[in-house]
């Protein structure tokens, strides 16, 4: 890794050259992977086979301690595209529509569109349940209609022999309706497995077709004079964990076992957990009780297979940028919308304020910044993407409208001061009453405070019902809640005050 002082000088020279020479603004290619935790080689996961994301990281900046603002698809993505915390943009739940809640909001791609960019998107970029629909993905954000190509032989996300056999049987019995969504019909007949390994080409699944569509767009835009903002959203590794067999074969099943820490953290509150309803909605998962050990191994194997599959699709997009000879003027940003539980704490899916749910990968490659293979360990968050891309592209940064903070100083110097903590939150109901769990992550600790409040009515403060404190240096798997430890009283109080300042809540009484 190069010394940061050289990075700083070279970045300044490159940035000045870009502005003074009045060259065109750089293109932006944003790549999003659904439910992707940092199960990536470049993030220290030795099991993960992710050569394309590793290569991308080697050519840019990796943010190791990056966190989402709410560990569920729609609210997390809205925080990225608004640069705001959920308490500010007003999106915490599915069904809330961004433009109804905040009709005058200017999203990240919309802001670039207003500054002369052609903004386009495909795949899962926003979550359609929080915008104007899956097919449009917030029409105001884009210069052209959003597209969502489907897999060539996919049947409700499935492409294997079992799905095809069921469809054929239903057709033979006259029960198959062409006008009805395939996935809905399969579910109605009890077919919704949590994994699939199929002997098919990549293009049997939607993500590979999305990748090819992105390649086609890059080829089109490369021949035009206007700078572009292209958002490419992949659905993997979201459930179901489906991928061609060759990606499953990259791993051995015996390499996957149940997580070593499946118990709840000692002293942790009940409200911190959930019943894994998302996973239990699949037909091969029990409705209640523990997940069988062999199924847990299969799920973990499937998650890594799906991650390797999406890695291959990401590689196709990045290769197209190189092939079209626009890499020298194209910024690439890769992020996952949140992390994922794979059995830790006895949990699967996301939907918590624990580390495995909030920590999400973030990689930024900027050819105007002559730094490669740079690792940032400071706490960062997904809201920081908005101001960072504005600054890197030479656009005015609307700081007063954003909760995020530009990462450019950290890209120049990984030891530069930033925010000090990353902010996350998650909502719950307890006793029929709404609660919000506010959480901050420092370089070593996490403090979470659960507060009863009517957040949907704009009331973000209230009675504190539970506190969690974890020390990742001594307890990386969050097995002990230290909030009640007398030796941690001063730290707990100090971090509670920091948390309240970070979320704009009332100060603690002295």
In CATH, what number does 27-55+70-158+195-365 get?
3.40.720.10
pLDDT for position 299: 98
For helices 293-323 and 51-58, angle between their N-to-C axes, nearest 10 degrees: 50
DSSP letter for each residue of 403-422: S----HHHHH-TTS---SSE
DSSP letter for each residue of 303-364: HHHHHHHHHHHHHHHHHHHHHTT-GGGEEEEEEESS--EESGGG-EES-SSSHHHHB--EEE
pLDDT for position 355: 99
Distance CA 235, CA 360 (A): 15
Question: Could you tell me which CATH class the domain 422-503 is placed in?
Answer: alpha beta
Distance CA 190, CA 103 (A): 41
Mapped onto helix, strand or coil, the DSSP state of residue 30 is strand
Q: Are 359 and 35 in contact (CB under 8 A)?
A: no
Shortest CA distance to 304 belongs to which of 256, 232, 345?
A: 256
DSSP 3-state percent helix, strand, coil across the chain (nearest 5): 40, 20, 45
User: Which residue's entry shows tokens 């997390």?
Assistant: 76
Question: Could you read off the pLDDT of 46-87 as tens digits, one per residue?
Answer: 999 999 999 999 999 999 999 999 999 999 999 999 999 999
Mapped onto helix, strand or coil, the DSSP state of residue 380 is strand
What 8-state DSSP symbol labels residue 449?
E
Residue ranges for the chain with pLDDT beneath 50 = 1-22
Distance CA 217, CA 219 (A): 5
Shortest CA distance to 359 belongs to which of 338, 344, 337?
A: 338
Question: Could you read off the pLDDT of 412-438 as tens digits, one per residue?
Answer: 999 999 999 999 999 999 999 999 999
Specify the pTM.
0.94
pLDDT for position 15: 46
Domain residue ranges of the chain, discontinuous segments joined by +: 27-55+70-158+195-365, 160-192, 422-503
Q: Are 366 and 411 in contact (CB under 8 A)?
A: yes
């Amino acid at each position: 890794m190069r010394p940061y002082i050289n990075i700083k000088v070279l970045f300044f020279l490159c940035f000045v050259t870009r502005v003074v020479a009045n060259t065109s603004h750089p293109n932006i290619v944003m790549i999003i992977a659904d439910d992707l935790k940092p199960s990536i080689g470049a993030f220290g996961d030795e099991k993960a086979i992710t050569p394309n994301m590793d290569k991308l990281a080697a050519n840019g900046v990796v943010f190791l301690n990056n966190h989402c603002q709410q560990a569920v698809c729609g609210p997390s993505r809205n925080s990225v595209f608004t640069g705001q915390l959920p308490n500010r943009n007003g999106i915490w739940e599915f069904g809330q529509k961004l433009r109804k809640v905040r009709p005058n909001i200017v999203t990240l791609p919309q802001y670039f569109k207003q500054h002369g960019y052609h903004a386009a998107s495909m795949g899962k970029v926003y979550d359609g349940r929080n915008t104007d629909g899956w097919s449009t993905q917030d029409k105001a954000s884009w210069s052209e209609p959003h597209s969502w190509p489907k897999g060539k032989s996919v049947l409700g996300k499935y492409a294997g022999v079992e799905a095809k056999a069921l469809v054929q049987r239903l057709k033979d019995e006259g029960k198959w309706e062409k006008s009805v969504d395939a996935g809905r019909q399969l579910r109605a007949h009890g077919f919704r497995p949590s994994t699939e390994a199929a002997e098919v080409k990549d293009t049997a699944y939607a993500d590979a077709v999305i990748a090819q569509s992105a390649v086609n767009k890059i080829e089109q835009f490369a021949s035009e004079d206007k700078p572009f903002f292209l958002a490419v959203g992949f659905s993997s590794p979201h459930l179901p964990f489906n991928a061609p067999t060759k990606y499953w074969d990259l791993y051995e099943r015996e390499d996957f076992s149940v997580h070593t820490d499946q118990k709840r953290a000692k002293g942790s509150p009940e409200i911190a957990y959930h019943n894994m309803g998302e996973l239990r909605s699949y037909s091969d998962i029990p409705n209640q009780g523990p997940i069988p050990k062999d199924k847990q191994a299969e799920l973990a194997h499937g998650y890594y297979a799906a991650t390797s599959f999406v890695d291959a699709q990401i590689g196709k997009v990045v290769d197209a940028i190189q092939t079209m000879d626009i890499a020298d003027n194209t910024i690439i940003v890769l992020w996952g919308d949140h992390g994922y539980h794979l059995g830790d704490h006895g949990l699967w899916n996301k939907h918590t304020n624990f580390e495995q749910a909030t920590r999400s990968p973030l990689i930024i490659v900027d050819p105007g910044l002559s730094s490669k293979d740079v690792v940032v360990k400071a706490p960062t968050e997904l809201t920081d993407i908005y101001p960072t891309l504005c600054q890197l592209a030479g656009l005015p940064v609307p700081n007063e409208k954003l909760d995020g903070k530009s990462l450019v100083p950290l890209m120049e110097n990984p030891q530069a001061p930033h925010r000090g903590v990353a902010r996350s939150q998650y909502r719950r109901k307890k006793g029929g009453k709404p609660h919000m769990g506010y959480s901050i992550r420092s370089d070593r600790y996490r403090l979470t405070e659960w507060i009863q409040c009517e957040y949907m009515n704009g009331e973000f403060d209230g009675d504190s019902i539970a506190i969690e404190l974890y020390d990742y240096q001594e307890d990386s798997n969050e097995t002990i809640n230290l909030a009640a430890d007398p030796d941690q009283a001063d730290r707990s109080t100090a971090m509670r005050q920091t948390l309240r300042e970070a979320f704009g809540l009332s100060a603690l009484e002295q």
